[in-house]
Structure 1
Amino acid sequence: MSSQVVRPIMSEHIVHILPEQVASQIAAGEVVERPASAVKELVENSLDAGARSVSVEILAGGSALIAVADDGSGMTRADAILSLRRHATSKIRSAADLTAIRTLGFRGEALASIASVSHLRMQTRRAADDNGVEVAAEAGNIEDTRTCAIAAGTRIEVRQLFFNTPARLKFLKTLATEQGAIAESFQRVALANHHIAFRLASDGRVVFDLPRANSVLERFRQVFGSKIATRMLAFDLDRPGIRAQGLAASSQESFPTGRMIFTFVNGRAVRDRMLIRAVEQAYQTLIPRGRHPATLLFVGMRPEDVDVNVHPMKTEVRFRNGGAVFDVVYHAIRDRLADQTDSVQPATIGDPPVSSTDDAAMGLITMSSKGAQDRVDDRAPSMRSDSPLRLVPDALTEKAFQRPLTLAYDRDARGGPAAPAAPIPMYSKLRVIGQIFAGYIALETEEGLLLIDQHAAHERVTFEKLRRELRDGGIRTQATLTPVSVELSPARAGMVHAAITEIRAMGFDVEPFGPTTLLLKGAPAVFGPEGGAKLLGDMIESMGDAGFRGGGEAAFENWLKQLACHGSVRVGRVLELPEIHSLLAELDRTEFKTNCPHGRPVHIQFARGQIERMFRR
């Protein structure tokens, strides 16, 4: 029995042009994903218009009302009407302009897209005009135009967003979620434009009221408060064609998520994985695994070297030379974190250097008791100081750590430079009170009491020595008086023998001595040969199933962390006063000295006022 394929009867024409209203709604879906997208587009238009003050009011998470008012340049009647048409823009003239975009907006879709899915009312006036103009539109169609009284600038009201696209309206999140998204979007724009006043109100409640700030640090303080602002370090690295500057949290401050990492390219807030990865890698070995820093990163470059036209909402960019950008960002932050004890005033992003009245810069960080509880318990059974604390003299000189105090002053309405804060004293310059619980060194500072975790401090010193030697060709080895045999587990012996080259690179002079034995002839010089066999055993025990192979430099750093941890002085070891002074001097000559390689704090501080309040003084 034969079968026939039944084909559907089709009309003669299956390709057609979408109606203008449907096309506008599709475009709106790309540009205006949610109320926060509309707020972002409208605020960016205000900034492009030269506004010095921007106010935003929302109701019901932005779905009922979004009102954005500014004191920018305003528009004529003809421009106001034309601005609501698709592809209308004042920011580019030809395709060639797309290669060097210098404004936040440029697509010419925002106002038309928003108007196509809402009831929109625009009031605008130029300073030179006697009256303003009001334009009312519904679903993209202009319903009315009239003159109005308004101060110079523009006010746009968007009501009942997505009223004619119920599918989009249905997928909006809860009221609180949409409000939060608007606040986060608004916050990013405010952080990038400290010289502009911003105000955000939600359902009659003021969320942000930010006056014009003198500096990026002051704006950061306005948004996030003084507690974290005082823990931010200014950084600035300028290389040909690329400049990375901003604020980075000290290594003793970290967060459970990456939401405190803000990245901007030529003043535009972006979500770029490469920039975030560069920031995160700059904090490697400085904060605990799984924690994230707070960073305000501004990357400046030639507009032709970055493509901002790769995403409808302009939140992603593409760099012409991403590797060079990564390198500048990484070193800008990493070099600043190398020594966090000096004081550097934050530069005014994008403005010429003038005077400053910012607060004193960063210093020793006051930590809560919770920070100290994150320490791994390294207690050793012995409370005696039988063997000396071995601290091999470092080839680095004091001069290498006497970094010049670079000052980039911020804008100050009163004029005149403010004196920079004095650098934080070095650990070795502080008065040693003694040792507490055979694990913590107590120091007296002008600000209060400083406690140093001796294991974390020695671990950082040791780790940096080992890493420097490894990069210089191999960790230096000191021979043992007599070879020592190290027995291996038969299950892991083959893996260990296969990693002989890597083990030697880490400072252990070993040779195979039978199928399950190694002959140890030398150990890393930084520890001395006495405990070499135990150190090697600990290293082999911590070796994963993949052995010592694979992972590159990052894998070696993880093994060096283990080596530094096992070989450093433990909590529970009583130190003599000369040993304490020696450790503090070594710590002062070490980069990244405020945290151990696993990210735990080396010190915590109890402010003098805090102590006095406990005694009710």
Structure 2
Amino acid sequence: MGHIQLMTAALANQIAAGEVVVRPASCVKELIENSLDAGARAIQVHLREGGIAEIVVIDDGQGMDEQDAALAFRRHATSKVYEPRDLVRIRTLGFRGEALASIAAVARVRLTTRAVGAETAVRVAVDGGEMGPLEKVGAPVGTRIEVRDLFYNTPARLKYLRTVQTEQARSVEVVQQAALSRADVAFSCQTEHHVLFQTPGNGDVRAVLAALYGVGEAKQMLDVHAASNDYRVYGVIGRPTQARSSRGYAHLFVNGRPIRHPGIHQAVVQGYQNRLMVGKHPMYALYIEMDPSLVDVNVHPHKAEVRFSEEPDVTRLVSQAVATALDGTLLAATPVRARQPHVTSVQPLALDWRGARDAQAAPARPSQTPVQSDKAVREGLTEVYRPNESAPKSGLPGEARDQVVDPLAHEEPFAAVTSPHETIRDERPTEWSLRPIGQALGMYILADDGESLYIIDQHAAHERVLYEDFSQKLRDRGVFAMPLLAPLELTLPPVVFERAMEVQQELANMGLTYEPFGAQQVVVRAVPDIWQGLDVQRLAVEVFDDLKALRGDSVIEQMRQSVATRACKAAIKANWTLSQPEMEALCRSLVKCQDPFHCPHGRPIFVRMTNGELERAFRRIV
């Protein structure tokens, strides 16, 4: 007997379903696409147990008659593609004719549908791919599909699903993407407990964005319009101040289809020119329309990616459209005067390098500042710099200044600097002390240890000192919650909201206390006291953004790093003049750090030139 056999229809359908139905969100996506292709103007999605127990999608589209309902669950049955040439001019979201057959192969499905003009509706049940008899029932025009017990007959796939909260969040994301793709369609998504998300369907994309991120964020966004002979680009983009640390706030649609495209995203970033801080990503909802023959939507199993026939033309138009929108808007970047150096008097122990906004104004220091008494230094002067925030800090506009001198904006590690004289290694003498010589260019401290000359980035060094101090306090529960006089109301994306609820107690232990307030909102009532004097709303938003990327067994430690890193925004910046005792205090703290070689983001803290290298550079030795 041969080894090759024909698979049963049920087994073939289950294997095919594995390419289409990965999790509840996959079912929601396919069903919503069918509803939109059917001309629906209102779509309701109901989820039970995150969609694992039940998904119900109801629409008011054109519906199906008895004959179509009988064919809908057959593999390769479609109403959208009839001949080969249709594949190069696809105008619908779904077109492969596998969605309902694949879903029905791994779940219990019931379809109720009534076509426009029909007197009655048709109902049919399909259990694991086996179709029952059709029956006539009463129902409004449109289609209702109920999907129950997903993967009940494929337990190996069921065990790989995530928690109910995670699967629900991903399903809600699909609904929100669909709502953004069609702002003219009213969407609602609800669980057995409450409504998670809904839109009015009035055609205004800002109304959808307001439901996602809050009215305040949506109002600030800028309109984008551009067109060429072959393409049209429109939508809204966030101001540079609305940029986030993740790409989860970027939404792109091609002919109504939500897609991912790194080239288009990079084109958007280029349109911002130098307005974005390094490591930040713009918020946007952009729509590209073109002749279907100019784009291939059949290059990805889940139709999440496309290929353009003339990609350079598309990216150029997108970049120009973004740049035009930004150039024509008065952005919040007010030029400031050059800063006069102001610091408070040096005090032992009491100052903590963080109190930038607590400082009292002090007269400008003369160019030659006398060294403070040895007694002040001996008494434990370690954290001493409290600059006067009321004075301008540089001659650059606010956003440009942050981009140039505030490396804390970087969310990704810096590449190591390679220099002929650089010898930054994770090694140091047992007894190591740095003697500051002076300050250069308003950014660097020159110091030596008797053997080498060090050029220290004062901002990076202070970041490292603060980061290790704050991290240790977090581990030792030495950080306390600082109540806010006015609680913060934040609207979070569904995945972020669910993660925030999962780690609510852990973040409360770190001083960030909040509670749910509606479907996707939280009310922040206290923040870590190490954030005192900083923009706590922006820091809280950034920490919540970080939750989306947390993975693995070290989630708690990653959250500590996120909270501590944000506190480092209080580090001294460039063009802030330091006194001799302040430089000495910083150097003493730096040499005690576990890692005095890199800032929390991976940038080198100093460049070292040994005595031998200096002698060779000056030709004192050969």
Alignment partners' CA distance in 1, 2:441 and 2:141: 77
Shift of 1:537: 11
Q: Counterparts of 1:155-554 in structure 2 under 5 Å?
A: 155-341=144-330, 439-440=391-392, 454-457=394-397, 460=400
Equivalent pair of 2:88/2:296 in contact (CA under 8 Å):
yes
Q: 1:459 to 1:65 in 2, by over 3 A?
A: closer
TM-score, normalised relative to structure 1: 0.57
Displacement of 1:276 in angstroms is 2.1
> CA separation in 2, counterparts of 1:374 and 1:273?
39
Query: What is the distance in 2 between the residues matched to 1:110 and 1:189?
Result: 17
Amino acid at match of 2:138: A
1:260-280 deviations in Å (ceiling 9; x for gaps): 001111110012222222223
Give the whole-Å Cα distance in 1 for the aligned partners of 2:140 and 2:152: 30
Q: 1:285 Cα deviation (Å)? A: 2.6
For residues 281-315 of structure 1, the C-alpha deviation after alignment (integer angstroms, 9 at most, x for no partner) is: 33353222222221111111110011001122211
Report the Cα distance in structure 2 between the residues aligned to 1:315 and 1:374, rounded to whole angstroms: 46
Equivalent position SS for 2:302: coil
Structure 1 match to 2:113: 124
Describe the SS at the equivalent of 1:252.
helix
Cα distance in 1 for partners of 2:37, 2:283 equals 28
Structure 1: unaligned runs, 5 residues or longer: 1-10, 343-362, 366-371, 386-435, 441-452, 465-489, 494-532, 544-567, 573-617
Q: Deviations over 1:563-595 (max 9, x none)?
A: xxxxx99578xxxxxxxxxxxxxxxxxxxxxxx
Between Structure 1 and Structure 2, how many residues are aligned?
384
Please name the residue that 1:37 is paired with.
26
Task: Sort the Cα spacing of 1:381 and 1:68 in 2 relative to 1 into closer, same or farther, 3 A.
Answer: same
In structure 2, how many angstroms separate the alpha carbons of the residues matched to 1:364 and 1:227? 19
Taking structure 1 as reference, are residues 571 and 161 closer, same or farther at Cα in structure 2, changes over 3 Å only? same
State how far apart, in whole Å, the 1-side matches of 2:25 and 2:173 are: 9
Q: Is the 8 A contact 2:62 2:115 kept in 1?
A: yes
Q: One-letter code of the match for 1:456?
A: L
TM-superposed CA distance for 1:182, in Å, is 0.3
* Structure 1 position 91 matched with structure 2 position 31: no
* Distance in 1 between residues matched to 2:253 and 2:242, nearest whole Å: 22
SS at match of 2:304: coil
Contact 1:455-1:571 within 8 A present in 2 as well: no
Contact 2:115-2:142 at 8 Å conserved across structures: yes
Any idea what SS the aligned residue of 2:247 has? coil
Given residue 124 of structure 1, which amino acid in structure 2 is its aligned partner? T
Q: In structure 2, do the counterparts of structure 1 residues 569 and 140 end up closer, same or farther at CA, with 3 Å as the change threshold?
A: closer
Percent of aligned pairs with the same amino acid? 39
What is the rounded CA distance, in whole Å, between the counterparts of 2:420 and 2:52 in structure 1? 64
Counterpart CA distance in 2 for 1:43 and 1:373 is 52
Distance 1:258 1:334 in 2: 19
Q: Mark the runs of 5 or more structure 2 residues left unpaired by the alignment.
A: 335-353, 368-387, 405-418, 423-439, 446-454, 458-572, 578-622
Q: Deviations over 1:539-584 (max 9, x none)?
A: xx899xxxxxxxxxxxxxxxxxxxxxxxx99578xxxxxxxxxxxx
Structure 1 counterpart SS, 2:223: strand
Contact 1:117 1:161 in 2 (8 A): yes
Q: Is the 8 A contact 1:438 1:571 kept in 2?
A: no
Cα offset for 1:248?
0.7
Q: Cα deviation per residue 1:134-193 (whole Å; 9 max; x = unaligned)?
A: 011111111121001000000000011111111111111111110010011110000111
Give the corresponding residue for 2:43: 54
Deviates more, 1:139-148 or 1:173-182: 139-148
Output the CA distance in 2 between the equivalents of 1:374 and 1:457. 19
* 1:334-370 per-position Cα deviation (integer Å, ceiling 9, x unaligned): 232234228xxxxxxxxxxxxxxxxxxxx789xxxxx
Give CA deviations for 1:93-147 in whole Å, capped at 9, x if unaligned. 0111000100111010001111111111000001211100001111111112100
Q: d(CA) in 2 for partners of 1:373 and 1:132?
A: 69
| Paired AA for residue 439 in structure 1 | A
CA RMSD for the aligned pairs? 3.6
Please say if residues 275 and 400 of structure 2, whose CA atoms lie closer than 8 Å, have aligned partners that are also in contact.
no
Contact 1:64 1:160 survives alignment (8 Å) = yes
Q: Which letter does structure 1 place at the counterpart of 2:184?
A: H
2:8 is equivalent to residue 19 of structure 1:
yes
List per-residue Cα deviations over 1:381-413 (Å, max 9, x = no partner): 96799xxxxxxxxxxxxxxxxxxxxxxxxxxxx
2:103 equivalent to 1:102? no
Partner of 2:59: 70
Report the Cα distance in structure 1 between the residues aligned to 2:112 and 2:190, rounded to whole angstroms.
20
1:49 CA drift (Å): 0.4
